[in-house]
Amino acid sequence: MEPAPVIDLGSLRRSCAQCSLRQLCLPVGIGADDVDRIDRLVKRRKPVARNERLFHTGSAMNRLYVAREGAFKTVAGNEDGEEQVMGFHLPGELMGLDALGTGQHRCDAIALETAQVCEVPLEDLQRVAAEVPGLQRQLLRVIGFSMGRDQDHLEMMSRRQAGDRVMLFLHSLSQRFEGLGRDGAEFSLPMTREDIGSYLGLVIETVSRSFTKLQDDGLIAVRGRQVRLLSARRLAEAVHGRTN
């Protein structure tokens, strides 16, 4: 019998073919050989430490980033020191798109916790996308999802009441967790109250007060970063504009 070829179990497990997020990145019904081709494009970094940056404002973009495990935030810095959280990025979600227009990043991407990330050189991706049917379409789709989250963000920001913003925020996070196959009703927030405040245009104290208010009203249960959504019905009502 031939000796079995040496297989790197680690890299196999981390391959696109085995990835739990496969459906988020790859077109449906793609052939195994095409998966393999895409897989060879992907560079997988060693774990990203908490507070480590994937890219910086002003730096040239040459790759797209996909969170694979752990969460990130993207932060745009006002020249006078104030920073604004532009988005949070869960596994399967793209980062770096902000530079598609100018070629230069306009925000920093920072790991909120120890994380894993896939990086894809944009040049290569475009070349392959022109050849692999469905990949181009899939790329546009994930870009579209990213824009959809930005629109959600905008809709949060357009709410006048702090409690409404926080509620929409929790609802949105819940949906995204569910999309990852996790529990959408109970989860742990990967970001600080400060991050949430910046993201929602509120100060940290207001975020904190909103959480306790929502808890007093019986909508959620909160202890530190652990959150449980209690009344999906009332939450959805509130999300859809009713201010009762």
Q: Which residues contact DNA by CB under 7 A?
A: 160-163, 192-194, 201-209, 211-212, 222-225
CA distances (Å), 38 to each of 6, 33, 125, in order? 22, 9, 8
Burial 132-142 (b: 16+ CB within 10 A, else e): bebbbebbeeb
- The answer to the question of residue 137 lying near a copy of itself (CB under 8 A) is yes
Token couple for 191: 């970001």
- Over the window 177 to 216, marking each residue x when it contacts a copy of itself by CB under 8 A and - when it does not, the resulting string is ---------------------x--x---------------
Q: By CB under 8 A, how many residues form the interface with a copy of itself?
A: 44
Q: Which of 137, 133, 64, 78 is nearest to 106 (CA)?
A: 78
Please state the closest distance from residue 151 (CB atom) to DNA, in A: 20
By the 8 A CB rule, do 88 and 72 touch?
yes
Q: Please report, as residue ranges, which positions from 65 to 104 form the binding site for a copy of itself (by CB under 8 A).
A: 76, 78-82, 84, 86, 97-102
Residue with Cβ nearer a copy of itself (14 or 209): 209
Within 8 A by CB and 6+ apart from 196, the residues are 166, 169, 189, 202, 207
Q: Is 123 or 205 the residue whose CB approaches DNA more closely? A: 205
Segment near a copy of itself (CB under 8 A); pick from 32-40, 51-59, 132-140, 219-227: 132-140
Closest by Cα among 91, 95, 93, 113 to 182: 91
Q: Which is nearer to DNA, 38 or 214 (CB)?
A: 214
| Residue 224 contacts which entry, a copy of itself, DNA, none (Cβ below 5-8 A, type-dependent) | DNA
Could you tell me the strand order of the sheet in which 116-121 lies? 43-44, 116-121, 63-69, 94-95
CA distance 219 to 211: 10
Considering beta carbons, is residue 20 or 243 the nearer one to a copy of itself? 243
Tell me whether residue 105 or residue 171 sits nearer to DNA (CB atom).
171
Choose, by CB under 8 A, the member of 153, 171, 176, 193 that binds a copy of itself: 153
Nearest distance in Å: CB 102, a copy of itself: 7
Q: Which two tokens stand for residue 211?
A: 């959480």
Distance, CA of 157 to CA of 98 (rounded, Å) = 19
**Residues in the site for a copy of itself, rule: CB under 8 A?**
76, 78-82, 84, 86, 97-102, 106-107, 126, 129-131, 136-137, 140-148, 150-151, 153-155, 157-158, 160, 198, 201, 240-242
